Amino acid sequence: MIKIVKADERHLVDNESQHSYWLFSYSDYLDMKNTHFGDLKVFNDDIIRAGKTVETESIYDKEIVTIILEGELTHEDSIGTKDVLKAGDVQVLSAGSGVSYSGINLSDKDTHICRMWINPLRQNMEPACRKNNFYMDSRKNELVALAGQGYPGSVKLRANSTVFMSKLEQGKMIEFLTDISRYISIYVLEGNIKLCGEKLGQNDQIRINQNDTIVIEADTEAFFVFVDAAGNY
């Protein structure tokens, strides 16, 4: 199974606080045919406007992965975390038995983030918050594990899933072996790539669930998020 979600098919939310695109049902956007892909429940591409606050959310039994692409975001949550996340930071908030969190852009520039919700291995675990910083320009032409298990330097993810990121130079390619038990989602942040006989441009997403070796080739310099999720949902 291969499904392409083109950039103009994303759900747009535009208000005084944010300019956001949602790839799955989220908040007051409900599409019963688009609620998840394997254990990946939410994938949002958000611009948080300068000086604005993201509304507080209360959530449980989800691994919340936040990637800061540009700018900074002050994160606060109900387990006592208060931290300024900056470009290159990746945070995992394990909601577990329940947590409330919010984000405030205290700067005078917009902040660009990607945020995901992923189903955990177990329910009702104790909430926790962790982060690390990743300088992608020094690790081009590879899949860099940002959050997962068993990858040195990655932020621990209490899930049978891994979030990768990659910057590919033009003409370079990478391979990834998958099978029918895995749900692969690739979202292009910049540039153009081709894989599985398909071409993807900026802000396109591809969803793959099949026995295959995925070969990703960059038609231009490209930057993308790659999620390898379990299919336990």
Task: Give the per-residue pLDDT at 232.
Answer: 61
Task: Give the per-residue pLDDT at 217.
Answer: 98
Which one is the CATH code of 137-230: 3.40.50.720, 2.60.120.10, 2.40.70.10, 3.30.300.30? Answer: 2.60.120.10
Task: Give the per-residue pLDDT at 231.
Answer: 84
Residue 12's alpha-carbon distances to 23, 56, 162, 168, 172, in angstroms, are 9, 20, 26, 28, 32
Task: Give the per-residue pLDDT at 22.
Answer: 98
CB atoms within 10 A of CB 199: 12
Task: Give the per-residue pLDDT at 54.
Answer: 87
Domain boundaries, the chain: 11-134, 137-230
Residues whose CB falls within 8 Å of the CB of residue 64, separated by 6 or more in sequence, listed in order:
92, 93, 94, 95, 101, 115, 116, 117
Instruction: List per-residue pLDDT tens for the chain, 233 residues long.
Output: 999 999 999 999 999 999 999 999 998 899 999 999 999 999 999 999 999 998 899 999 999 999 999 999 999 999 999 999 999 999 999 999 999 999 999 999 999 999 999 999 999 999 999 999 999 988 999 999 999 998 999 999 999 999 999 999 999 999 999 999 999 999 999 999 999 999 999 999 999 999 989 999 999 999 999 999 998 64
Residues whose CB falls within 8 Å of the CB of residue 9, separated by 6 or more in sequence, listed in order:
none
What's the CA gap between 40 and 34, in Å, rounded? 11
Whether 137-230 and 11-134 are alike in CATH topology: the answer is: yes
What's the CA gap between 5 and 198, in Å, rounded? 12
**What CATH fold (topology level) applies to the domain 11-134?**
Jelly Rolls (2.60.120)
What's the CA gap between 228 and 222, in Å, rounded? 19
**In DSSP terms, which residues pair with 4 in a beta bridge?**
206
CB atoms within 10 A of CB 74: 16
